[in-house]
Homo-oligomer: A and B are copies of this chain.
Amino acid sequence: MTQTNRQILLVEKPTGKLLPQNFKMAEAAIPEPKDGEVLLRVLYISLDAANRAWMQGATYRAAVEANTVMAGGAIAEVVKSNAPGFTPGDLVFGDTGWQDYAVVRAKHLVKVPRIDPITNLLSVYGVAGLTAYFGLLNVGKPKADETVVVSAAAGSVGSFVGQIAKIKGCRVVGIAGGKEKCNWLVSELGFDAAVDYKSEPVFKALKAAAPNGIDVYFDNVGGDIFEACLPQMNQHGRISCCGAVSAYDGTPPAHGPRGVPGLIVVKRLIVQGFIFTDFNDQRDAAMADLQSWVKAGKIKVQEDIINGLENTPNALIGLLAGENRGKRMVKV
């Protein structure tokens, strides 16, 4: 156990693309938990496109401010507890920030079981898996034989969305960057087709890959890809809005996708934003489904684990550039 607490601070809010120099490493004393608080040792930090959005301003949470420890969800172990219900050795999920140790109010923590491997708590049994599950099934509501299109399909959420849609009997098309990812989606994860937005015009390639139109579009990216999908939506289609990564890293786009709201009217679409906690009341059922699908080999869990707290900034920068396949996290 180190005797100091290494912390990664956001030294300034990025104005354009996120850069390594927006962060710096600092050291502090290991903090003491006060009443109702718990001292945690951080094990695995989750990296998510949303981390970048938090730097832009208030979202579903307060903005991350300059000169503070960078925020982020993580799996952590209780070291010291001043709160009932938490004892040393307990495993929890919470927003610890990017550091070795964190003191967090117990009411903001969720206790999680010590499964093997525990990294699955950040991928299929964590935010990524639950986001895919609820965003697809509760928001997108696909029916068997419908066509589901998912963007950032090789990312953590997207790879689960496609596999769950296959389980539900849908035709699944993934949009991803690069031939390698696209091949992986089809040959390893069982997608019916994949569109490589880096090498082919998305609108045309989608038209070929989804000849019956799109019933559910699971949107992780916004921007041009949202605009390419919109006119191909079928009547009464659903767009599940999970994120808009195209707008996070850099200056926000000057305008939104063409066809909003006209095509939403004409096609009678439902376009719905969500975060997975909106469906907390159905979490147990979701978890049971995910577990049975993983056990049955119907969901393959791809994780992209980077070692060392000091590499967290570059891990996020790389994620925003789309270099990961599956769920990216940092082993502290």
Contacts and interface: CB of A to CB of B under 8 A. Distances in A.
A271 interface: yes
Interface residues of A, number: 39
A42 B242 CA distance: 49
A260 B257 contact: yes
Interface stretch (A95-103, A104-112, A261-269): A261-269
Contact of A255 (B241, B252, B255, B271): B255
B278 A273 contact: no
A244 B258 contact: no
Given A255-B256, A256-B256, A271 B262 contact: no
B261 A244 contact: yes
A207 to B, nearest CB: 16
Given A273-B266, A274-B268, A261 B219 contact: yes
A128 to B, nearest CB: 16
Interface in A229-276: 235, 239, 241-244, 247, 252-275
Contacts of A242: 265
A275 B236 CA distance: 11
Copy tally for this chain in the complex stands at: 2
Contact of A226 (B239, B261, B268): B261
A247 B262 contact: yes
A59 B266 contact: yes
A54 B153 CA distance: 36
Nearest to A223: B261
Residue among A257, A258, A264 facing the most chain B CB atoms (10 A cut-off) = A264
A15 B53 CA distance: 41
Given A254-B258, A255-B257, A256-B256, A270 B272 contact: yes
Contacts of A222: 260-262
B269 A272 contact: yes
A181 B134 CA distance: 44
Contacts of A258: 252-256
A135 B264 CA distance: 13
A227 B252 CA distance: 14
Contacts of A263: 273
**7 interchain residue pairs of minimum CB distance:** A255-B255, A256-B260, A256-B256, A264-B273, A265-B273, A244-B262, A271-B271
Interface of A: 53, 59-60, 219, 222, 226-227, 235, 239, 241-244, 247, 252-275, 278
9 contacts: A222-B261, A242-B265, A243-B265, A244-B262, A256-B256, A257-B260, A261-B271, A265-B273, A265-B275
